[in-house]
A and B are shown apart, each in its own frame.
Chain A
Amino acid sequence: AQSVTQPDIHITVSEGASLELRCNYSYGATPYLFWYVQSPGQGLQLLLKYFSGDTLVQGIKGFEAEFKRSQSSFNLRKPSVHWSDAAEYFCAASSGGSYIPTFGRGTSLIVHP
Protein backbone atom coordinates (compact mmCIF):
# COMPACT_ATOMS: atom_id res chain seq x y z
CA ALA A 1 0.00 0.00 0.00
CA GLN A 2 1.15 3.52 -0.72
CA SER A 3 2.11 5.48 2.34
CA VAL A 4 3.86 8.59 3.56
CA THR A 5 5.59 8.57 6.93
CA GLN A 6 6.66 11.53 8.99
CA PRO A 7 8.53 9.92 11.87
CA ASP A 8 8.60 12.97 14.12
CA ILE A 9 5.35 14.13 15.69
CA HIS A 10 6.99 17.15 17.30
CA ILE A 11 10.27 18.93 16.65
CA THR A 12 11.62 21.67 18.89
CA VAL A 13 14.35 24.02 17.73
CA SER A 14 15.79 27.31 18.89
CA GLU A 15 15.32 30.37 16.77
CA GLY A 16 18.25 30.70 14.39
CA ALA A 17 19.06 26.99 14.45
CA SER A 18 18.87 24.77 11.39
CA LEU A 19 15.92 22.51 10.77
CA GLU A 20 15.33 19.19 9.07
CA LEU A 21 11.92 17.52 8.94
CA ARG A 22 11.84 13.94 7.77
CA CYS A 23 9.53 12.35 5.23
CA ASN A 24 9.67 8.81 3.87
CA TYR A 25 7.42 7.35 1.24
CA SER A 26 6.47 3.89 0.11
CA TYR A 27 5.38 3.77 -3.51
CA GLY A 28 5.94 1.36 -6.38
CA ALA A 29 7.47 4.09 -8.53
CA THR A 30 8.87 7.50 -7.73
CA PRO A 31 5.90 9.60 -6.71
CA TYR A 32 5.37 13.29 -7.01
CA LEU A 33 6.24 14.85 -3.65
CA PHE A 34 5.00 17.90 -1.79
CA TRP A 35 5.56 19.78 1.45
CA TYR A 36 2.75 21.90 2.89
CA VAL A 37 2.68 24.15 5.95
CA GLN A 38 -0.33 24.85 8.16
CA SER A 39 -0.52 27.67 10.68
CA PRO A 40 -2.91 27.13 13.62
CA GLY A 41 -6.54 27.26 12.55
CA GLN A 42 -5.64 27.82 8.91
CA GLY A 43 -5.59 25.87 5.67
CA LEU A 44 -2.49 24.32 4.13
CA GLN A 45 -0.05 26.26 1.95
CA LEU A 46 2.35 24.67 -0.51
CA LEU A 47 6.02 25.15 0.38
CA LEU A 48 7.56 23.21 -2.49
CA LYS A 49 7.10 20.22 -4.76
CA TYR A 50 9.20 17.69 -6.64
CA PHE A 51 8.16 16.15 -9.92
CA SER A 52 11.44 15.24 -11.62
CA GLY A 53 14.88 16.61 -12.45
CA ASP A 54 17.09 18.33 -9.92
CA THR A 55 16.76 16.49 -6.62
CA LEU A 56 17.25 19.64 -4.54
CA VAL A 57 14.10 21.73 -4.65
CA GLN A 58 13.81 25.31 -3.48
CA GLY A 59 10.58 26.59 -2.02
CA ILE A 60 9.06 29.62 -0.43
CA LYS A 61 10.05 31.12 2.94
CA GLY A 62 13.63 29.89 2.60
CA PHE A 63 12.79 26.18 2.68
CA GLU A 64 14.35 23.50 0.53
CA ALA A 65 13.91 19.76 0.22
CA GLU A 66 16.08 16.99 -1.14
CA PHE A 67 14.74 13.93 -2.90
CA LYS A 68 16.80 10.80 -2.23
CA ARG A 69 15.60 7.83 -4.24
CA SER A 70 17.90 5.36 -2.47
CA GLN A 71 16.40 6.29 0.89
CA SER A 72 12.81 6.90 -0.32
CA SER A 73 13.01 10.23 1.43
CA PHE A 74 12.09 13.84 0.80
CA ASN A 75 13.33 15.77 3.82
CA LEU A 76 12.57 19.44 4.34
CA ARG A 77 15.34 21.78 5.49
CA LYS A 78 15.87 25.36 6.50
CA PRO A 79 19.27 26.77 7.51
CA SER A 80 17.96 29.25 10.08
CA VAL A 81 14.54 29.00 11.67
CA HIS A 82 12.45 32.04 12.54
CA TRP A 83 9.78 32.14 15.26
CA SER A 84 7.15 32.58 12.53
CA ASP A 85 8.04 29.12 11.17
CA ALA A 86 6.25 27.51 14.10
CA ALA A 87 3.48 25.51 12.45
CA GLU A 88 2.39 22.04 11.34
CA TYR A 89 4.22 20.61 8.35
CA PHE A 90 2.78 17.95 6.07
CA CYS A 91 4.53 15.82 3.50
CA ALA A 92 2.37 14.43 0.69
CA ALA A 93 2.85 12.18 -2.33
CA SER A 94 0.87 11.16 -5.37
CA SER A 95 1.59 8.80 -8.21
CA GLY A 96 0.60 8.35 -11.80
CA GLY A 97 -3.01 7.42 -12.26
CA SER A 98 -4.16 8.80 -8.94
CA TYR A 99 -5.65 12.23 -8.44
CA ILE A 100 -5.56 11.77 -4.69
CA PRO A 101 -2.41 12.55 -2.74
CA THR A 102 -1.46 10.64 0.38
CA PHE A 103 -0.59 12.84 3.34
CA GLY A 104 1.70 12.11 6.24
CA ARG A 105 0.37 12.71 9.73
CA GLY A 106 2.29 15.92 10.09
CA THR A 107 5.14 17.26 12.20
CA SER A 108 4.53 20.07 14.65
CA LEU A 109 7.42 22.53 14.75
CA ILE A 110 7.99 24.43 17.98
CA VAL A 111 10.44 27.32 17.94
CA HIS A 112 12.05 28.51 21.16
CA PRO A 113 13.31 32.10 21.39
Chain B
Amino acid sequence: DGGITQSPKYLFRKEGQNVTLSCEQNLNHDAMYWYRQDPGQGLRLIYYSQIVNDFQKGDIAEGYSVSREKKESFPLTVTSAQKNPTAFYLCATARAGKIADTQYFGPGTRLTVL
Protein backbone atom coordinates (compact mmCIF):
# COMPACT_ATOMS: atom_id res chain seq x y z
CA ASP B 1 0.00 0.00 0.00
CA GLY B 2 1.93 2.99 -1.30
CA GLY B 3 1.73 6.37 0.28
CA ILE B 4 2.97 8.93 2.73
CA THR B 5 2.76 8.48 6.48
CA GLN B 6 2.93 11.33 8.94
CA SER B 7 3.08 10.76 12.65
CA PRO B 8 1.81 11.60 15.09
CA LYS B 9 -1.54 12.96 13.90
CA TYR B 10 -1.75 15.26 16.93
CA LEU B 11 1.19 16.58 18.90
CA PHE B 12 1.32 18.79 21.94
CA ARG B 13 4.39 20.72 22.92
CA LYS B 14 5.29 22.67 25.99
CA GLU B 15 7.07 25.98 25.72
CA GLY B 16 10.80 25.52 25.23
CA GLN B 17 10.61 21.96 23.94
CA ASN B 18 11.86 20.64 20.65
CA VAL B 19 9.58 18.21 18.87
CA THR B 20 10.09 16.08 15.78
CA LEU B 21 7.43 15.32 13.20
CA SER B 22 7.85 12.18 11.17
CA CYS B 23 7.31 11.81 7.42
CA GLU B 24 7.85 8.48 5.69
CA GLN B 25 7.10 7.55 2.09
CA ASN B 26 7.21 4.38 0.02
CA LEU B 27 6.49 6.01 -3.33
CA ASN B 28 10.18 5.96 -4.26
CA HIS B 29 10.03 9.72 -4.81
CA ASP B 30 13.27 11.65 -4.64
CA ALA B 31 11.80 15.02 -3.64
CA MET B 32 10.22 15.71 -0.26
CA TYR B 33 8.75 18.90 1.18
CA TRP B 34 7.48 20.32 4.46
CA TYR B 35 4.70 22.89 4.50
CA ARG B 36 3.06 24.79 7.28
CA GLN B 37 -0.64 25.62 7.02
CA ASP B 38 -2.38 28.31 9.04
CA PRO B 39 -6.02 29.31 8.57
CA GLY B 40 -6.45 31.67 5.65
CA GLN B 41 -2.75 31.61 4.69
CA GLY B 42 -2.55 28.65 2.38
CA LEU B 43 0.60 26.56 2.37
CA ARG B 44 3.99 27.99 3.23
CA LEU B 45 7.16 26.07 2.42
CA ILE B 46 9.49 25.32 5.33
CA TYR B 47 12.14 23.04 3.81
CA TYR B 48 12.54 20.83 0.79
CA SER B 49 14.92 18.12 -0.35
CA GLN B 50 15.57 16.92 -3.87
CA ILE B 51 18.00 14.17 -2.94
CA VAL B 52 19.34 12.28 0.04
CA ASN B 53 21.75 14.25 2.24
CA ASP B 54 20.75 17.55 0.68
CA PHE B 55 18.01 20.04 1.56
CA GLN B 56 17.18 23.71 1.11
CA LYS B 57 15.37 26.30 3.15
CA GLY B 58 11.98 27.43 2.08
CA ASP B 59 10.21 30.69 2.84
CA ILE B 60 9.80 30.17 6.60
CA ALA B 61 12.71 27.96 7.73
CA GLU B 62 13.58 29.91 10.87
CA GLY B 63 13.01 27.83 13.99
CA TYR B 64 12.86 24.56 12.05
CA SER B 65 15.42 21.92 11.08
CA VAL B 66 15.35 18.82 8.89
CA SER B 67 17.48 15.87 7.88
CA ARG B 68 17.41 13.58 4.86
CA GLU B 69 19.54 10.55 5.69
CA LYS B 70 17.29 8.13 3.83
CA LYS B 71 15.24 8.50 0.68
CA GLU B 72 12.13 7.35 2.50
CA SER B 73 12.31 9.71 5.45
CA PHE B 74 12.30 13.49 5.93
CA PRO B 75 11.73 14.37 9.62
CA LEU B 76 11.03 17.93 10.67
CA THR B 77 12.15 19.27 14.04
CA VAL B 78 10.33 22.25 15.47
CA THR B 79 12.77 23.92 17.81
CA SER B 80 12.17 26.18 20.76
CA ALA B 81 13.33 29.04 18.55
CA GLN B 82 10.07 28.84 16.60
CA LYS B 83 7.94 31.39 18.42
CA ASN B 84 4.53 30.41 17.13
CA PRO B 85 4.61 26.76 16.13
CA THR B 86 0.93 25.96 16.57
CA ALA B 87 -0.18 24.95 13.06
CA PHE B 88 -1.01 22.08 10.72
CA TYR B 89 2.10 20.57 9.12
CA LEU B 90 2.01 18.80 5.79
CA CYS B 91 4.66 16.63 4.20
CA ALA B 92 4.66 16.15 0.44
CA THR B 93 6.67 14.20 -2.13
CA ALA B 94 7.29 14.41 -5.86
CA ARG B 95 9.44 12.70 -8.44
CA ALA B 96 12.68 14.61 -8.82
CA GLY B 97 13.71 15.78 -12.25
CA LYS B 98 10.09 16.48 -13.13
CA ILE B 99 9.81 20.21 -12.77
CA ALA B 100 6.06 20.36 -12.99
CA ASP B 101 5.26 17.07 -11.37
CA THR B 102 2.36 16.51 -9.06
CA GLN B 103 2.96 16.70 -5.33
CA TYR B 104 1.54 13.97 -3.15
CA PHE B 105 0.59 14.94 0.38
CA GLY B 106 0.53 13.11 3.66
CA PRO B 107 -2.43 13.36 6.08
CA GLY B 108 -0.73 16.01 8.21
CA THR B 109 0.26 16.56 11.83
CA ARG B 110 -1.48 19.14 13.99
CA LEU B 111 0.94 20.68 16.47
CA THR B 112 -0.34 22.61 19.45
CA VAL B 113 1.80 24.49 21.93
CA LEU B 114 0.46 24.36 25.46
- Do A and B actually bind? yes
14 A-B pairs besides A100-B45, A100-B58 with CB distance below 8 A are: A9-B40, A32-B100, A36-B105, A42-B107, A43-B106, A43-B108, A44-B90, A90-B42, A94-B99, A96-B100, A98-B99, A99-B50, A100-B48, A106-B40
25 sample A-B contacts, Cβ–Cβ < 8 Å, listed by A number: A9-B40, A31-B100, A32-B99, A34-B102, A41-B88, A41-B110, A42-B107, A42-B108, A43-B92, A43-B106, A44-B92, A44-B105, A45-B105, A46-B102, A49-B100, A49-B102, A90-B42, A90-B43, A96-B100, A98-B99, A99-B31, A99-B48, A99-B50, A101-B103, A103-B42
The CA of A94 and the CA of B40, in the complex, are separated in Å by 21
Q: Report yes or no: B99 in contact with A99, Cβ–Cβ below 8 A.
A: yes
Q: In the complex, what's the smallest C-beta–C-beta distance from A31 to chain B, in angstroms?
A: 8
Interface residues of B in 85-105 (CB under 8 A from A): 88, 90, 92, 94, 96, 99-100, 102-105
B41 at the interface (CB under 8 A from A): yes
A42 closest partner in B (C-beta): B107
Q: Which of A44, A49, A90, A96 has the most C-beta atoms of chain B within 10 angstroms of its own C-beta?
A: A44
B interface vs A, CB < 8 Å?
Answer: 4, 6, 31, 33, 40-43, 45, 48, 50, 58, 88, 90, 92, 94, 96, 99-100, 102-108, 110
Given A43-B90, A44-B90, A49-B102 in contact, is the A103-B43 Cβ separation under 8 Å?
Answer: yes
Name A residues whose Cβ lies closer than 8 Å to a Cβ of B. 9, 31-32, 34, 36, 41-46, 49, 51, 90, 94-101, 103-106
